[in-house]
Every structure is written in structure tokens, then in C-alpha cells.
Structure 1
């Protein structure tokens, strides 16, 4: 049984990836500041901070790790007023330390979750993987810097293999209800007003977490190493459409308040995903409306759980 170390295993992507890999016969070591909500005899929780190198070293001593998936990001896409030194320490330094620990333990396969929505910057057409990286937020720059360091390691270590995923806007179960789709479904369901920052016609690419989970495992098993892959539906969905879908799915109307655009946000972001579609032999992924219908089951269960 192969073992994956899931850095950020208690987060949205980490939980979903863990659940998917467990179903496919893998063992998962989840490393995070809290336990994963996924319960399985083949999942081991290790509690710790990403900056704790001693705890990281213990994991590699106690478990035979076959590959590592890194899902962590500790700040929002829109830049905050935090110390930039602290943001680098929290988001970039742990990757550098982890890759060095992996080398010491002869673990040479690394999967990094970057960002397709922030690393390319502004564009008026679907963006392919070979497009110039022009981030317009510090978050996007951090992702670009991490990618650059991963490639540096690959150039200096012939045994090291990586996959970099650049996802668009991922949504689905286990996600905190503070992103546009989760908030829209929640507010429509409970009858709260909806605040929209910026243009309601903003168009972005959305991908359901189940599709993303399948993609991650497929590329690992197909050994599509040392490359970068856009992850998205390849289709534009507007904020207006998301609000309409939420109201249709819940059967409720909601009041919408319009606010100024937040600094660092992008009003058009759609990815060219031909590369990943060709590898998977797929022509399309779950559409946003059907994906939101699926997520609504989770939204209702979360609201009901909070009310108890």
C-alpha cells in the first residue's frame, strides 16, 4: 500500500484528496494544525505547524512516504496588511524546508497546488500553461516563487520529480462557506443578504473538487512528472450566473448589495485546460450549475450542524 503525505490534510483540498486517495487504496498521513474530518483506518493524523521541521522529520522517520502533496496556503488571495516578512515565512519557507527534508529521506515525488487564478494576472481570453506569469497580488507572487524553487530543486537533483497544478476556483464539500459559491448557496438558503464586491459580470473558471481529486491521482498514476497543468472547467461563469443558480437551487430569492472591487481581484480568469483534457480523455468536466447542486447538500448539512 502506497503512502501519501498530505500537507494541509485537514483543509478543504486536503480532506477531499485524502478521502479520494483512501477510496483508491492508498494510506494517507495527514499533517495539519488539527485532525482531518475524514475518519479511516488508513488515515494517520499528525498534528503540527508547517514551520516545525522536527515534526516533519519525525513523519519521514515513522512512515514510508511515497510522495507528498502540498495544499497549504495561509492567507487569502487578496493581499492583507500583514507583515510581508511573516507571509513569506508562513508560505514559502516551509516548502523550502520540506523539500530539503524529503531529499534527506530519499523521497523524491512532490505535488504542489499552485494557483491558476492568481499566477497569470489579467487576461481577456483563456490562458494556457505557457503564458507569461504576471501575478497582480502578493499571493500570486508567492505561488510563482514556490514554483520557481521547485524547478530549481529539479534542476539540481536528477531524482526529484514534481507536478505543479494551477487550479482555477475550486469548490465543493468540506470548503468553508466564505467563497462566492458557498456564500451564495448559504445566504440564499437561510435568507440573508448577499454582498458583491465589484462587477457582477466578472467571469471566472470554476472546477468541482471531485474532478480535481480525480485529476491529481490520475496524473500521479500516469507518472506525468516534471510539468505544469492548468486545472479548471475551461468555461467562464459570471458572478451573476452564480447568484441566479443559488436562488434556483435553493428556491429562495435574496437581496444583493453591490460594493467596491477588492484590491488584487481579477475580473476575468479562465484557463485553457486542453492539456489536461487530452491526458484524461475528457471533453468537459462537471458544469457549475450541477456542481453547485451537489455542493448544496453539503451546505445544508453544515448549516444544520451549526444550528444544533
Structure 2
């Protein structure tokens, strides 16, 4: 099997590629992988085992149609991670999110169809649903994104599904909850808080800290993606969640405890514009159809994540310095 992975040098994409190359998925044992990544600020070749003979790495843009038509022939599947993904950055400037997430996805869909690639897995986010006060979103819930990032991902979801309905492409969409784990760029909340605390710096907590998120370890997310790649139904959407909801305040408390710090290290900041109050995914569909279940508890996952950042300062310290974090 030959798998084409976009954004494979980023946090989630690289976790998926490493798992593939370590033959963690029986259905893809021995697979070869082509990674296409622009290596923008959050992409990092150090996230990948670049010397592995089964890996081909290409630095390039998913909007480069000529490059896509050169690279895609011969691949059995596309797994599309590449995206601008940080909400705060989208609030500061939305255009890169529209360019990459919507136009880039369309360029990739067109090239995959024209070159005869089979399955196309489009990796999306629960943020396309907006905010939910009670209950959990099913895959048929109306999309109501609130941030420019979420709106751009909703647009890309719709273009991917339209490719199935219009052209008969073998497209499947996944929507995940908040990911965490090793190799996550340190602008995101968990690595930012952990690395700040390790350096004796305060951590910023939005508003009253009452915003609720469902936390999903990146390895569980990747297992869900692989299940969808292997067995998901074309034209369908599958939610992938972790099953643990925490307020931002509860998450902060756990990270403070893990790092041996107190609440004096927390600095309240003004709430984010359009900040969604609660996310919650119903994962009945992927569980019943594909046998998915999260395996990493939040206690185990957070402990392992904190330990990884503690042991890998040489990885994250230059990234924070360059990003001015």
C-alpha cells in the first residue's frame, strides 16, 4: 500500500506517519508513505524518521496543482491533515486559513480525482459544529462554526463531501476533538502551559476558565483515522473523540499539579473573541461501525505528555524562541 499524507510533518500528521512506519496498523503493514508538507512555522522535519526507506518526504504546497499531479499517481489513498489550525491566528488574520484549508483542499481533491487515487480521508475538527450547551454532536448536526479557522474547515468539509456526491470520489471525513500528546507545537494550550511552567513562567487562562473541551490523545485519533481509512463508508462523516470532558480550569489544575506548580502561576486574560463554550462529540457511529474506542486515559496521556516535554527541551525550546512564545 502507498499512502499520500499531507501535513505529515505537523503534530497529528507526523504521529500518524510514525505509527504507519512502525507497522502499528495491521491493515497497512509494510506501507510506504509520501509526506507532502510546506514546513510552515508548525511543520518540522524532526518530527519524522526521515531516514526510513519507506518514507519519501517532499516539501511543497497542497495548492501546487502541478506538483500534486506529479506526486499522486500510484498512491492508493490520501490522508489529508494539512491545514492552518490555530484559532487565535485565524482571528488575527483569516486569509491564510481560507487559502490553505479551502482552496488547498480543493486543489488536492481535483488532483486526486484526475490521477486516479482511491480513498481520500479528509481530517477535520469538531469546531465546525460550533458550541453545544448540552448533549453531544452526531455527524448529522448542522455546521455552525464561530471562528475563521472553524469556518474554513467547515468549507473544506463541504467541498470534500461534494466531491463524493458530484464526482463519485471515495471520500470520507473525520472530525476530532481536542488532541494532545508529544510533538505538539508549543502555541497550543497543553504544550504552552507545560513548557511555560517548566521555565517558571506564568500561564494564561482565558476568561473564567469554564470553557469545556473533550480531550483526545493523538495516538487514539490516529487509530480512528486508520479505522476510517480501512473500513469507513464513502461519503460519510465519522466523529473521533476521547471521551473525557474537562473545563479549561480543570485542565489547568491537572497541569499545575503535574508540574509541581500552584495557582499563583496562572495569569487570567481576557476571553478569546467568539470563544466556543463547550465541545462534545458523540462517537457512537465510529464505535459501532468500525470498532473504535479510545485506549489512552487522560490521566495516562497527560502524564506521558508532560514527561515527554520535560525530556525533550531541545525539541521545543527553539520553536518557542522562534515563535516568540
> Which TM-score applies when normalising by structure 1?
0.91
Residue 144 of structure 1 aligns with which residue?
Answer: 154
**Gap change, CA 1:10 and 1:282, over 3 Å in 2:** closer
Q: How does 1:1-308 map to 2 (within 5 A)?
A: 2-24=1-23, 25-34=30-39, 35=45, 37-39=47-49, 40-61=52-73, 64-78=74-88, 79-82=90-93, 84=95, 86-116=96-126, 118-125=127-134, 126-158=136-168, 160-253=169-262, 255-281=265-291, 284-305=294-315
**Gap change, CA 1:282 and 1:145, over 3 Å in 2:** closer
Contact 2:220 / 2:242 at 8 angstroms: preserved in 1?
no
Where 1:296 maps in the other structure, the secondary structure is helix
- The whole-number CA distance in structure 2 between the counterparts of 1:115 and 1:249 is 28
- The whole-number CA distance in structure 2 between the counterparts of 1:306 and 1:171 is 15
- In terms of mean alpha carbon deviation, does 291-300 or 206-215 score higher? 291-300
Contact 1:235 / 1:270 at 8 angstroms: preserved in 2?
no
What is the count of residue pairs matched by the alignment? Answer: 302
Residue 307 of structure 1 deviates from its aligned partner by 6.3
Contact 1:188 / 1:253 at 8 angstroms: preserved in 2?
no
Residue 243 of structure 1 deviates from its aligned partner by 1.6
Residue 301 of structure 1 deviates from its aligned partner by 2.8
- The whole-number CA distance in structure 1 between the counterparts of 2:220 and 2:301 is 10
Where 2:47 maps in the other structure, the secondary structure is coil
**Gap change, CA 1:220 and 1:202, over 3 Å in 2:** same
Residue 136 of structure 1 deviates from its aligned partner by 1.1
- In terms of mean alpha carbon deviation, does 199-208 or 219-228 score higher? 219-228
Contact 2:7 / 2:81 at 8 angstroms: preserved in 1?
yes
Contact 1:198 / 1:260 at 8 angstroms: preserved in 2?
yes
Unmatched segments (≥5 aa) in structure 2 = 24-29, 40-44, 319-325
> Which TM-score applies when normalising by structure 2?
0.86
Contact 2:38 / 2:60 at 8 angstroms: preserved in 1?
yes
Greater fraction of residues in helix? 2
- The whole-number CA distance in structure 1 between the counterparts of 2:252 and 2:85 is 25
1:79-109 deviations in Å (ceiling 9; x for gaps): 334364x542232111111111111111131
